[in-house]
Amino acid sequence: MSKILEIIINPNPILRKKSQDVNLDNILEPKFQEFLLDMEETMLKEDGVGLAAPQIGKNIRVISIKAEGKSFFIINPTITKVSWKKVWDEEGCLSVPDIFGKVERHKKINLVYYNEKGKKQKLSTSGFLARVIQHEIDHLDGILFIDKAKNLKKLNY
């Protein structure tokens, strides 16, 4: 049974640390698999489209993504190619609640990573999914979208 984990909120210093690679020998261990399910459950409950491990207090290179109706995990990602073309669009973040701003991201990216079974994967993507992955990889490098954003605005309820 997966559990909901606490989202770390800025300015917690955990969000500013560079994350360490996951030891590939550990991916199939029950404790790590349980962590992945907890991460996914937390992302879905919080209505997020992506969640990076630092956002739940773990400085390891793991991302949970929900896009195009399915969830998947990205472990130890490396962007191998980016498009020259960049696009500005609005972003928000579970770790920076109620703040939104325009961020410039590469329109297309190529990525190499490992899935939850420890298998090496390649992904070529564009548009919204490329934006989400770049946002989450920034988390793994200790970067928040507010570091890159312009026209920041706070929602008032």
Could you tell me the two tokens for 17?
Answer: 């640390």
Could you tell me the two tokens for 20?
Answer: 């360490």
Mind listing the pLDDT tens digit for each residue in 53-99? Answer: 999 999 999 999 998 888 999 999 999 999 999 999 999 999 999 99
pTM: 0.97
- CATH for 13-154 is 3.90.45.10
Short-list 113, 90, 97, CA closest to 47: 97
Catalytic residues: 136
Q: Which residue has the tokens 């999914």?
A: 129
